[in-house]
Structure 1
Amino acid sequence: MSFGEIFIWELLGTAALILLGAGVVANTVLKKSLGFNGGWLLVNIGWGFAVFVGASISHPTGAHINPAVTIGLLSAGNSDFGWGLAPAYFLGQMIGAILGATLAWAAYKLQFDTHDDPGGTRGIFCTGPTVPNYAWNLVTEIIATFVLVFWILLSPAADVDTDGVPNFGNSALGYAAVAFVVISIGASLGGPTGYAINPARDLGPRIAYALLPIKGKGSPEWNYSWVPVVGPIVGAILAGLLYQALPVS
């Protein structure tokens, strides 16, 4: 698969992921939305099935939609696409994340305009800790991402097809299985930081939030922005290295 093809499919899949993921958070946060006060469970389910939709769309590239997945596969030696094509994945994921966040804002523009706490809308787009402590927040993101990437590497179809595209997901459930894992991570490990577990998922929408014309919006909190980028990368590398050390590799 060419650089351009990877870029397009990852962009489309990640845009769908963020559109639906940020959309479910907007639905629960913005007061003039029918989902207002829908709660953490609705957010977890929405994000989980946003992964299902995004992964299904980007199936031709192996459905990464997450730089941590790309890095995890490379670290595990479980991919034939190599570091030379990794930038195509990363660019598609980042630009797709910004696009998806922008579309989510457009879908809820009237609700943003009439929301009585515009300064508190950052959480619709990106994550933040409930108890700020960057070292421990980093640990949370490392652990949560490790769970996701390690599961992908050990899943029944975690192999590489003849075109060098990695396939993962339970053979019966397909990408729905990944959605269940994400819902489980959110329900179990998402409370401390909001479980970014995806550098593009957090940084792309954070950039969009900084640029979008949301009246009265708060700070993008750039001082925290490195945690949901570095944590998932470290977690993915650790998952890949452990996978290599196991007999299955």
Structure 2
Amino acid sequence: MSSSDIFIGETIGTAILILLGGGVCAAVTLKASKARNAGWLAITFGWGFAVLTAVYTSAPLSGAHLNPAVTVALAIKDSDWSNVPTYFAGQLLGAMIGAALVWVAYYGQFHAHLTDKEIVGGPGAQATSAKAVEAQEVGAGPVLGIFSTGPEIRNAVQNLATEIIGTVVLVLAVLTQGLNDEGNGLGTLGALVTALVVVSIGLSLGGPTGYAINPARDLGPRIVHALLPLPNKGGSDWGYAWIPVVGPLIGGAIAAGIYNVAFA
């Protein structure tokens, strides 16, 4: 496959992934959304279906990595780093496009949510929970969770370990059964299984950090959150942002090592 196919495929696929994944987070979170308060099950299955749709769409062009951790793992497995920058560029751009499209799709809901004094504070308003107070202290705005992840308990070692463990599970699943015939990414036959693995990770391991398990999925939308003209949006929590980038990359490398030792 050509560099242009890789870049276009990863951009389109990752944009779809974030549009649908971020979209379910917006649907569950935002005021005046019909799906508000639908809960964690809706989010985990929404992300799983997002993976399924994105993989089926982009696999013919790029092999549907859609995740720098997967790209790194495949580069280690195959000892071929020539296309890694192209994959990374498409994934980051696609993630940013997808996050921007979530804002467009839920524009009115974002405005209603972020101008509600019970949500963002104001005269006579007060924090309704210890978590809300903590979020304000660390600079995580009230809608940041639609764009990127954050921990329930802020412990860098635990948070990093959680992201590493979840990513190892994901990438091992990709490497062992989700490769297409050319061995360069997810094929359509592996899309359903991989989507179900993402649902499983979300249900079992998503509670502590929100399971980024994908550096582009977290970093691209976090950048968009920082740039968007959202009223009362709060901070983008850049102090935490390194964990959902570094953790999945380490997890991908570990998964590749396990694969090469146990399966190759």
User: What TM-score bracket applies, with the shorter chain setting the length?
Assistant: over 0.9
- Contact 1:160/1:167 (8 A) holds in 2: no
Distance 1:168 1:5 in 2: 15
Distance 2:107 2:101 in 1: 10
The one-letter code matched in structure 1 to 2:252 is A
Unaligned residue ranges in structure 1 (runs of 5+): none
Please give the secondary structure, in 2, of the residue aligned with 1:237: helix
Could you state the TM-score of these two structures normalised by the residue count of structure 2? 0.87
Instruction: Specify the alignment match of 2:110 in structure 1.
Output: 112
Instruction: Specify the alignment match of 1:152 in structure 2.
Output: 174
Distance 1:16 1:168 in 2: 17
Distance 1:15 1:185 in 2: 21
Instruction: Specify the alignment match of 2:132 in structure 1.
Output: none
Larger Rg, first or second structure (1 or 2): 2
Give deviations 1:39-63, integer Å, cap 9, x for gaps: 0000000001100111111112111
Instruction: Specify the alignment match of 2:33 in structure 1.
Output: 33
Give deviations 1:121-155, integer Å, cap 9, x for gaps: 00000000000011110000000000000111111
Instruction: Specify the alignment match of 2:53 in structure 1.
Output: 53
Instruction: Specify the alignment match of 2:255 in structure 1.
Output: 239
Could you state the TM-score of these two structures normalised by the residue count of structure 1? 0.92
What is the deviation of 1:180? 0.4
Instruction: Specify the alignment match of 2:206 in structure 1.
Output: 190
How much identity, in percent, do the aligned residues show?
A: 52
Instruction: Specify the alignment match of 2:243 in structure 1.
Output: 227
- 4+ residue runs of structure 1 moved beyond 2 angstroms? 116-119, 157-160, 164-169
Instruction: Specify the alignment match of 1:98 in structure 2.
Output: 96
The one-letter code matched in structure 1 to 2:81 is W
- Contact 2:74/2:184 (8 A) holds in 1: no
Instruction: Specify the alignment match of 2:70 in structure 1.
Output: 69
The one-letter code matched in structure 2 to 1:165 is N
Distance 1:69 1:186 in 2: 17
Unaligned residue ranges in structure 2 (runs of 5+): 121-140
What is the deviation of 1:166? 3.5
Distance 2:157 2:23 in 1: 29
Please give the secondary structure, in 1, of the residue aligned with 2:164: helix
Number of equivalenced pairs: 239
Distance 2:36 2:77 in 1: 42
The one-letter code matched in structure 2 to 1:64 is H
Q: 1:200 to 1:103 in 2, by over 3 A?
A: same
The one-letter code matched in structure 1 to 2:143 is T
Distance 2:83 2:75 in 1: 11
Give deviations 1:62-117, integer Å, cap 9, x for gaps: 1111111111111222x7xx211111110000000000000001100000011123
Distance 2:181 2:157 in 1: 36
